[in-house]
Chain A
Amino acid sequence: MGATFDLWKITKTTLFYALVVVIVVVSVFPFYYAILTSFKQGTDIFRITYWPVSFSLENYQSVLSQGSFPRNLLNSIFIASVTVILALFLAVTAAFALSRVRFRGRGFLLMVILGVSMFPQIAVLSGLFELIRALGIYNTPWALVFSYTIFTLPFTVWVLTTFMRDLPIEIEEAAIVDGASPWVIITKVFMPLMWPALVTTGLLAFIGAWNEFLFALTFTSSNDTRTVPVAIALLSGGSQYEIPWGIIMAASVIVTVPLVALVLIFQRKIVSGLTAGGVKG
């Protein structure tokens, strides 16, 4: 009995670690392969290898020298950051109203906000384009900040509303008795409690803005204003039909590394942020 039990336990542990290994390999392998490819040159690219056989930074050099990739990186960082800050600012106040103040039509409003995320981006493209030109922000970073609101705002409002709903009511009431206005409650009491949640939603929105392609392509018309995903799409080989896999993979690695770093830095916060809903007094 004891022996079989041990055997079962060992099998269980082995199976568990096998599962862990499978999960990690499946998650990381494509990225690993992209890195591998990015070190290859010429016809080597079409040959399959599992381990690095050649090591050449040429692809990276050509990415960073072709077009204005470093500039595009900066654009992406700027646009994604501003978008996130703006969305968080608008969403925090709106989430307070939606989660803590009861008024007629609150559920309807939340539904409308969700509805905005239901419309295909393709369909608003032309309307947004006209609007952006009318506002005179075409081909500026603001055009992208402006248009990204369409998907960052509903998301941040919803998630922050969920988080704020879970904050204990008595803390707010204590603040009311202390004479805090709604603005003070948000900034002095709720925000410090919610910052893990803010980091999480901010990161999610940041990745959304960072990865966006369609708007970025449509609303910019010069190399200096474009963002990284567009820049990757613009990467090209020597001639029309040639797809520069090596360079694209190099660019992809360059674009992904900051995000992976960001996720690594914040991963604890991401998890705790989502669990910190019930702040205990």
Chain B
Amino acid sequence: MKINKLLVGLMMSVTLVAGAAQAAELSIVSGDTGNGLAFLRSQLDKFEAETGNTVTVVPMPSSTSDQFGQYKLWLAAGNADIDVYQTDVIWAPQLADQFLDLTDAAKDVVGNHFPSIIESQTVDGKLVALPAFTDAPALFYRKDLLEKYNKEVPTTWAEMTATAQEIMDGERTAGNPEMYGFVFQGNAYEGLTCNALEWVKSFGGGQIVEADGTISINNPQAAAAIDMAATWIGTISPEGNLAYQEEESRGVWQLGNSVFMRNWPYAYALGNSDDSPVKGLFDVAPLPAGEGEGAGSAATLGGWNVAVSKYSPDPEEAIKLALFLSSPEVQKERAINQSNLPTIPSLYEDADVLAASPFMANWKAIFEQAVPRPSAPTKIKYNEVSSLFWSAVHSTLSGNGTAAENLEGLEADLADLKGDAW
């Protein structure tokens, strides 16, 4: 089997890629999980068949923070064992020095992708990584409950709060003491940065640090947004929400114990799995908007990319692999198989994609409101900025000070961190 594959590969490399270097042995590191890993492997098999190279997958724990630490260490030590890295959308500026510039290699295809995503992966004119898929959260809501209480899908946070409260009270009286109105990701971690950025942005409170590097977070709209979120804790959201990451929120939601949830598309497929109590009872909508000037729905931009290590012994083949993984073919497969959002606009109208993942039609609208985290302007200091931000928000949510107080402190800390320039 293996020999067979090798032979085929060799033939291919001779016939198809005539003139190219000899078959390379590449490895790609990936924090992908379960099915995702299997999918990656299936795509790599195709790549192997096409190019004659062999590709090994080095799986990593799914914790992005674990991955980031390892990658940094490996790259710092000039690890030549890994050629291609799968990177989170926010890592590009922090790891830019260690990755190859893909501008030339990708000049023919960059135009196919959403410009905002390409922009997020470009650091000082250098294209650090190619997008593999994107991600944006949405408001999950219970169709059945909204219907029962005769409510519209909320478009503002205030509406959502009111609706959540009413349905929660109603359901509790009706005999489900476990019922809550809204669950989100409130643990002190990167996920809270995403959530809070959405609130702030939807209230017209800026993006923490603006594209030009100015620290904008200390403003009344941002404070209003976070104060509003603080009122949820212990009312429509459980106290424990302060420790929730994605899975904990999904746990509550999927048991049917919450009216609304803020989560990523993965929860859509799982919520509709056969043993799910909420199967077929929910739908998704763009996250609600805030109030005040510049208010509107906002969704934090997520997603994953592929980058090539500058220590790769075989950069040319490695770049080919990166291009392959971001190609429309693979992205289409990914959208069908994995429900991952493509980074190529045309795929959202693709019949096959919509047939397999009908909800994607909804997400295009969500994606259009996507807001990037301030990783580009803050460069290598992004993680610390994010940590300071989520700490300030978490304090506010926990009742340690008002948003205004905490944001004022945050501004000072950020200014300190920024120094002369990011």
> Which of A's residues lie within 8 Å of B, judged by CB?
41-44, 46-47, 66-67, 125-126, 129-130, 133, 138-139, 217-218, 221-223, 230, 233-234, 236-244
Known: A46-B255, A221-B58, A230-B61. A238 touches B35 (CB 8 A): yes
B362 in the interface, Cβ–Cβ < 8 Å? no
Interface assignment of B273: CB less than 8 Å from any CB of chain A:
yes
Q: Out of B29, B63, B266, B276, which one reaches A242, CB within 8 Å?
A: B266
Closest Cβ of chain A to B112, distance in Å, is: 24
Which of B96-104, B161-169, B246-254 lies at the interface with chain A? B246-254
Please indicate the chain B residues that have their CB under 8 angstroms from the CB of A44 in the complex.
275
B152 within 8 A of A: no
B266 pairs with A217, CB closer than 8 A? no
* Binary A-proximity of B358-391 (CB < 8 A = 1, otherwise 0): 0000000000000000000000000000000000
B59 touches A223 (CB 8 A): yes
Point out the residues of chain B lying under 8 angstroms from A47, CB to CB: 255
* CB < 8 Å neighbour of A43 from B35, B59, B73, B275: B275
Complex interface bits, B339-357 against A, C-beta within 8 A gives 1, otherwise 0: 1000000000000000000
The answer to the question of B338 belonging to the interface, with a C-beta cut-off of 8 Å to chain A, is: yes
Write the B271-315 contact mask toward A (1 if CB under 8 angstroms, else 0).
001111100000000000000000000000000000000000000
| Interface residues of B, Cβ cutoff 8 Å to A | 27, 29, 32-37, 56, 58-63, 66, 70, 73-74, 76-77, 79, 81-82, 245-247, 250-251, 254-255, 263-264, 266-267, 269-270, 273-277, 338-339
Known: A238-B34, A242-B266. A125 touches B73 (CB 8 A): yes
> B273 to chain A: which residues have CB within 8 Å?
42
Interface of B is mostly: mixed
| 7 nearest A-B residue pairs (beta carbon) | A236-B33, A241-B246, A42-B275, A239-B266, A233-B61, A243-B247, A236-B34
User: Which residues of the other chain, B, contact A230 by a CB distance below 8 angstroms?
Assistant: 61
Nearest CB of chain A from residue B198's CB, rounded to whole Å? 17
Whether the Cβ atoms of A129 and B32 lie closer than 8 Å is: no
Which residues in A have their C-beta under 8 angstroms from that of B76? 126
Determine the distance from Cα of A55 to Cα of B211 in the docked complex, in whole angstroms. 55
Q: Among the listed B36, B61, B246, B339, which residue makes an inter-chain contact with A217, where contact means beta carbons less than 8 Å apart?
A: B61
Question: Cβ of A133 and Cβ of B35 under 8 Å apart?
Answer: no
Give the residues in chain B near A221, CB-CB below 8 Å: 27, 29, 58, 74, 79, 81-82
